[in-house]
Amino acid sequence: MTVMKGALPSVIEAIGSTPIVQLQNVSKGVHADIYAKCEHMNPGGSVKDRIGPNIIQTAEREGLLKPGGTIIEATSGNTGLGLAMVAALRGYKCIFVMADKQSEEKRNALRAAGAEVVICPTNVEPEDPRSYYSVANRLAEETPNSFYASQYYNPANPEAHYVGTGPEIWEQCGEEMDALVLSIGTGGTVSGISKYLKERRPEIQIIGVDPIGSIYHDLFYTGEMPPAHSYFVEGIGEDFLPGTIDMKSMDDVVQVTDQECFTMARRLNREEGLFVGGSSGAAVAGALKYAEKFAHKFEGRRPNIVTIMCDNHNRYLSKIFNDAWMTENGFDL
């Protein structure tokens, strides 16, 4: 089958090549230039589009995913959509297991993509049989001809960013970039990008952003696993240590509150025209904190700090961008 000039053979080839734009308003008064890599412009609406093809293609190559099979995954929503995009083209079924803190928009988006969605309680330990990790494992064991994508332990996750996102950022920024600040979830994005960039320029600072309640900040500073507690922002932070994160890939970890994540997300929408969600707000809030604390180290010049816009705002219209929800949950508008 031939493809018309200027067209792509499928939506998968539209993943990546996202632009980097300079922030104009939210960073005023900070002695740094802040840039945003617009991963929310991927066809599925998030940075997780990057890992879907690599996870599925690797599983096919290794004989783990066979024709007519079912892809099973524990997801906050975005990885599920990245997998569902590829599954739609290749004829796979999908079952996605989500915690009940995730937005209704994400659940509906996965169902619209043809997936079965299973909802589990948020406030249980990862080892609890009711947790979305445990339920996904059980479904993978019980479902014939299934493949558990396992983004938290699958090396194809960070590999996708080592071969894709990292080289893109280097091509766009090269040695002009001083730091990359990004929210961390499974750790695949930060680990893969950091590995690539550090091989090219070890001085580039890689800064993780972690919501209060997650384990990464305290683990980074103490080397010990702290207790986790619940928080509202979706898709980032963890209550256990995934196999896909290399803690040494980061030079520092900055903490942010839910309020900071949500306030900045709303500002990015209103002041920058970047229609992004709470994890993107976290990244920019973290970048401003990092700049305020460390910009003086860059020999008197304004450092160039790049952030990652993780996903788009339409997954949070009933929550972050709903004034009533914000007020009901104790957040300032």
Active-site amino acid positions: 48
Tokens 């894709």 sit at which residue? 164
- Helix (H) / strand (E) element for 70: namely strand 70-74
Angle at Cα 216 formed by Cα 213 and Cα 218, nearest 5°? 80
Contact status, residue 161 vs residue 187, Cβ threshold 8 Å: no
What are the tokens at 8?
Answer: 């792509």
What is the residue type of 212? Answer: I
| Residue partners of 106: CB distance under 8 A and separation at least 6 | 76, 77, 78, 80, 98, 234, 315
Burial class (CB in 10 A: 0-12, 13-18, 19+), 271: middle
Q: Which distant-in-sequence residues (6+ apart) come within 8 Å of 289 by Cβ?
A: 254, 256
105 in Cβ contact with 124 (< 8 Å): no
Are 99 and 121 within 8 A, CB to CB? yes
Q: How many H-runs (helices) and E-runs (strands) does the chain carry?
A: 11, 10
Q: How far apart are CA 207 and CA 259, in angstroms?
A: 20
